[in-house]
Amino acid sequence: MQDELDRNIPDSNDSSDELYERFTITIDKGQEPLRIDKFLANRIEGATRNKLQQAMNHGMVLVNGVPVKPNYKVKPQDHIVIYSDLSPDETDVVPEKMDLNIVYEDADLMVINKPAGMVVHPGSGNYSGTLLNGVSYYLQQQNPNLTEDILPRFGLVHRIDKNTSGLLVLAKTDKAMRVLAKQFFDHSVKRKYLALVWGDLEKDSGTIIAHVGRHLRFRKLFEAYPEGDHGKDAITHYNVIERFGYVTLVQCVLETGRTHQIRVHMKYIGHPLFSDDFYGGDKIVKGTIYTRYKQFVDNCFALCPRQALHAKTLGFVHPSTGEEMHFESELPKDMEGVIDKWRKYSTSRQ
C-alpha cells in the first residue's frame, strides 16, 4: 500500500532563500499504529530518526494541524505536514561579539538590518563573522544558560546574499519559527527590494516568470529556466522608480524566494544588477565606452563595489499576537551614493 505523498522539497539542482519548505503525507487506510519518527524515517530518503525527533521537538511536524512528539503513533488517514530545514549541513555556531543593527525585538523574534558583506550563517569557508555568530553572542548575553550546542540555529527561516543589504527576521522560539516558516512557504511574507539595474527598461512595470536553479555547468551560479525544465518556480514583480538613462532604479517584489532570484531574473530580461560580479553587472553594459564615461562608471563601481540590491521592506504576521508587522530600512550609504551620482550624471546630460 502507498501513502499519498506530496513533496515540495527542492531537487539537488536547486536552492532557496527560504530555508524551510514542506511536504505532506496522508496515511494509507491500512496503516498499523507506529511511532511517527520510525514511520517517517522509513519513508523519507536521507532522513534519520534523530533529525526527525529534533524537528518534532521544534514543532516542525504536524499531524492534522497539531504539532506532535516523536512517540505519537500514526493512524489511518492522518495528514502529516513536515517543514524541512534546507539550511546547509550543521556547522557549530560559535558566539562572537559584534555590532548588530536590531530594528525590532520581542520575546518571539528579532528583525535585523544586515549590512552588505556579512554572510548570514556559517558554512564552508565562512565559519566566523556571520550574522548568526553575532546573534548567538547577543542571545547568550541575555540568557547565560544557552550553550553553544543548543543555541537556536533553527531561528533562521530565510536569508539574503552576503553582498545584499537589508532586513531579516529571526525566530527566538519554536512556535515563532514554525509560524514564520509557514508564512514564508505560503509566500504571504511581504518583501520589497530596491535594485539599480543596467539599461532603460522598456516598461514601467512587469512580472518575470522563470524557474531559477543552479547553472548546469558552473555550480556557484544560478540560471533562469523559462521552460521550467530545471530549478523551482520563481516570480518577481518589478516597478520602475527612477530612470537615469543607462541605469534604472527599480523596486522588486518577491512572490517566491529563490537563491539569487532578483539577480538572475534581471539578468534574464537583459538588465543585470549594477556592479554584480556574478551576473555580468560589473562591467559597462549600456553606454558608449569612451574615456570620460568609463571613468565615471569605474568611480561608481568603486563607490558601490557589490550588487546594488537592498532588502528594504519586510512584512509578516506576528506569530503570537497576530498583528501585521511592517518594517522599512533606509538605503545604505554605498547605494544611496551611487544612485545620487547617476542622478546627477543623467541630469547633466539633459
For the segment 173-205, what is each residue's pLDDT rounded down to a tens digit? 888 888 898 898 888 999 999 999 999 999 999
Mean pLDDT for the stretch of residues 224-228: 91
Residue 1 pLDDT exceeds 70? no
- Give yes or no for a contact between 23 and 8, defined as CB atoms under 8 angstroms apart: yes
Q: What confidence score (pLDDT) does residue 46 get? A: 65
**DSSP secondary structure of 210-243:** -EEEE-SS-TTSEEEETTSSSSB--EEEEEEEEE
Rounded CA separation 303/306 (Å): 9
- Give yes or no for a contact between 307 and 301, defined as CB atoms under 8 angstroms apart: no
Highest mean pLDDT: which range of 140-144, 214-218, 260-264:
260-264
In a domain? residue 303: yes
Q: What confidence score (pLDDT) does residue 4 get? A: 46
Looking up residue 133, the CATH number of its domain turns out to be 3.30.2350.10
Same domain, 194 and 181: no
Q: What confidence score (pLDDT) does residue 263 get? A: 97
Rounded CA separation 294/271 (Å): 19
Choosing from 153, 185, 217, the residue where a domain stops is 185
Tell me the catalytic residues.
161
Same domain, 198 and 229: yes
Range in 78-87, 102-111, 212-221, 241-250 with the lowest mean pLDDT: 78-87
pTM score over 0.85: no
pLDDT, greater one: 198 or 52:
198
Q: What confidence score (pLDDT) does residue 168 get? A: 95
For the segment 53-107, what is each residue's pLDDT rounded down to a tens digit? 878 887 778 899 888 999 999 999 999 988 766 454 455 678 899 999 999 999 9
The count of structural domains within the chain is 3
291: pLDDT confidence band, cut at 50, 70 and 90? confident
Amino acid, single-letter form, for residue 200: D
Show the domain range for 146: 102-185
- Give yes or no for a contact between 170 and 157, defined as CB atoms under 8 angstroms apart: yes
Residue 14's contacts (CB-CB under 8 Å, 6 or more residues apart) are 212, 213, 214, 230, 231, 232, 258
Return the percentage of the chain with pLDDT > 90, whole number: 54
Mean pLDDT for the stretch of residues 230-258: 94
State the burial class of residue 190 (Cβ atoms within 10 Å of its Cβ: 0-12, 13-18, 19+): middle
**DSSP secondary structure of 181-194:** HHHHHTT-SEEEEE
Choosing from 170, 185, 200, the residue where a domain stops is 185
Instruction: Tell whether the torsion through CA atoms of 207, 209, 210 and 214 is positive or negative.
Output: positive
Neighbours of 99 (CB within 10 A): 7
